[in-house]
Chain A
Amino acid sequence: MANVELTNVRKVYGSSVEAVKGINIAIEDGALCVLVGPSGCGKSTLLRMIAGLESITDGTVKIDDKVVNELGPAERDIAMVFQNYALYPHMKVYDNMAYGLRNRGMPKDQIDKRVKDAAQILELTQLLERRPKELSGGQRQRVAMGRAIVRSPKVFLFDEPLSNLDAKLRGQMRVEIKNLQRQLGVTSVYVTHDQLEAMTLADILVVMNAGSVEQIGAPLDIYEKPASTFVASFIGAPPMNLVPVKADHSGLVLKDGTRIGAEGLSIPATGALIGFRPEDLEVSAGTDTHIGGLALDLKVLGVEPVGAESYVYGIIGGERVVVRVPGRSTSNSDDQLRVIVPKQKLHLFGADGKRI
């Protein structure tokens, strides 16, 4: 068990393509850190650099307070779970799990004990004599986990381990991974592009975009106080609504010219974006302006009932927005609604996308 520390880590491909641009992350012992971001944001590259599968152009990676930049993957005392599981197709489940230990020259009886223990934890005992081909997706996923566990490494690395599973199984495995990680207390780095996975698993969430860290923090802190419009629209489903506003001498103007009450907001001269989560809007029955909130007019485009709640899609000031309404919505297309955003639920971003 160990902490992981990345200092100014950079990765440059060729001479000019900068895939990872100076990243600093400190992960405490036993924590599960999730790297999340759209594809191509450098999160997998970063993970592979921690694993030692990718060389580090600049900066240092420390595992257990030891710089590991020059060490090979096998010497870093890490275990990795791959997206397509990467099980050895010709080996039985038992051998798949034992292979890494054999390569380290561990005595047979000790290997046997470790593999059987891991199989017990992962409920694989019945499957030890099978080959990967004869297993279902979820079982293969478990074997891949088992292969990581038997090594009892300092760090677990997960590279989108659940993306090949169907939605139901994914939810189930997500809980299992979380429990397992808690139970074993091994520091972990987990890469995903699924924000739901990121939110539910992470102790520390790292949101990445275009090779840089956008925000680091506890998942709910990030959800409640996104540092930029990128984070705001990436974390949360449906994403946060962002409506551009400009200030003029007499108040605030939306994109299509609609005037709204300023409600004490100070908007920079360059303009800003006001953001609000779909669930933070209140649909007002009358036309009265709510005290302490921003009142906006919404033209309904359509309603999507998903059961427990409904999504009302509409337009505010020329910008498309979505409102999450509990239960069934009675609105129809082309209805005009007055919605109120409580002031404390309002997010404000500058023209550069940064939070104000």
Chain B
Amino acid sequence: MIQNNPVGRLIAHVILIIGILIVAFPIYYTFVASTQTLQEILRPPLSLLPGGHFWENYSAALFGGVGRIGGVGVDRLLFNTLVMALGIAIGKICISILSAYAIVFFRFPGRMVFFWLIFITLMLPVEVRILPTYKIMVDLGLIDTYTGLILPLMASATATLLFRQFFMTIPGELVEAARVDGAGPWRFFKDILLPLSKTNIAALFVILFIYGWTQYLWPLLMTNRNDMSTIVIGLRKMISFADADTEWHLVMVTCILAILPPILVVVLMQRWFVRGLVETEK
């Protein structure tokens, strides 16, 4: 519905602006706090304008090492989280696109059994699987490793099903045309299926990257060493129960730094992302 009368437009704008303020203000306030000294933060009221300690705080957090997390710099946490998020996103996409390819385009014994096995994992919440998974990771000696952080989160029924649904919309004649053109299974996958799935892959990448970036429970279990922490865990560790013991200015810096990469991914991939969600290119 498109309203063209000015009053309606005004009301719509007011509501939108209020909505944006509600969402954006806490983030702005976090940014303001990240540019103040600890003393300024602890002495209310906090100014609504950014303070003058931007460089000081950010370089301290990034390169100086933060005391409460064993002197590890936020740069290290960012790197860990990036590896984990990328690993999960890319790994999940690879595995699910390949398994969906197998399920949709090949006839092999037990095909439906595999499909249902994948489907059933959707019904088990992470918390149910977490203890056995943890035990396996411990036995494999993967505590405090990137592999341990990434591997268990890589298998994904949702992404497999998503690709399956997309593959099923590909007309059978296209597959047959490729066969007549002499494209074997691998060529067909590489030359036809992958290019057609571009937008889906992009959309999924954005979603999975953010999913990986914001993981809390699993990294909490998997990492003991401070230099293997992810940023979310690091953030949690920085906060002490005693208010005065917490370096709030560095916490705020870390918060801002933690939300930057997901925002960057969304902004950079927005065009693909939206297209992948809205239309299927055929």
Contact = CB atoms under 8 A, between A and B. Distances in A.
- Interface of A: prevailing SS: loop
B191 interface: yes
Interface string B150-185: 000000000000000000000101101111111100
B125 to A, nearest CB: 38
Interface string B169-206: 00101101111111100010001100110100000000
Contact of A73 (B171, B179, B196): B179
B176 A89 contact: no
Interface stretch (A1-9, A96-104, A115-123, A277-285): A96-104
Interface string A212-249: 00000000000000000000000000000000000000
29 contacts: A51-B176, A52-B179, A53-B180, A73-B176, A73-B179, A74-B179, A74-B180, A74-B182, A79-B180, A80-B177, A82-B173, A82-B176, A83-B173, A84-B171, A86-B173, A86-B174, A86-B177, A87-B177, A88-B174, A88-B177, A88-B192, A89-B281, A90-B281, A91-B195, A100-B180, A103-B182, A103-B183, A103-B187, A147-B177
A100 B187 CA distance: 11
Interface of B: 171, 173-174, 176-183, 187, 191-192, 195-196, 198, 281-282
A80 B196 contact: no
Given A52-B179, A86-B173, A88-B174, 18 more contacts: A72-B179, A74-B179, A74-B180, A74-B181, A74-B183, A78-B180, A80-B180, A83-B173, A84-B171, A86-B177, A88-B178, A89-B282, A90-B281, A91-B195, A99-B191, A100-B181, A100-B182, A103-B181
A59 B213 CA distance: 60
Contacts of A100: 180-182
Contacts of B198: 90
B196 A89 contact: yes
Nearest to A78: B180
Interface size class of A (residues with CB under 8 A): 20 to 34
Contacts of A82: 173, 176-177
A84 B173 contact: yes
Nearest to A90: B195
Nearest to A99: B181
A37 B235 CA distance: 72
A147 to B, nearest CB: 8
Given A82-B173, A82-B176, A84-B173, A90 B196 contact: yes
Given A99-B191, A103-B187, A86 B179 contact: no
Nearest to A88: B192
Nearest to B196: A90
A144 to B, nearest CB: 9
The 8 closest A-B pairs by CB, nearest first: A74-B182, A100-B181, A86-B177, A86-B173, A103-B182, A90-B195, A82-B173, A73-B180
Contact of A99 (B183, B196, B281, B282): B183
A51 B195 CA distance: 26
A100 B191 CA distance: 12
Contacts of A52: 179
Contacts of A73: 176, 179-180
Interface in A28-60: 48, 51-53
A86 B198 CA distance: 19
Contacts of A90: 192, 195-196, 198, 281
Nearest to B197: A90
Contacts of A78: 180
A88 B181 CA distance: 11
Nearest to B172: A86
Contacts of A86: 171, 173-174, 176-177
Contacts of A51: 176, 180
Interface in A60-116: 72-74, 78-80, 82-84, 86-91, 99-100, 103-104
B81 to A, nearest CB: 34
A59 to B, nearest CB: 22
B33 to A, nearest CB: 48
A82 B282 CA distance: 16
A84 B192 CA distance: 17
A80 B182 contact: no
B182 to A, nearest CB: 4
Nearest to A75: B182
A72 B182 CA distance: 9
A80 B187 CA distance: 19
A79 B198 CA distance: 29
A135 B59 CA distance: 56
Most chain A C-beta atoms within 10 Å of own C-beta, residue among B176, B181, B191, B282:
B181
Nearest to B187: A103
A104 B179 CA distance: 12
Contacts of A88: 174, 177-178, 191-192
Contacts of A72: 179
Nearest to B195: A90
Contacts of A87: 177
Nearest to B170: A89
Contacts of A99: 181, 183, 191
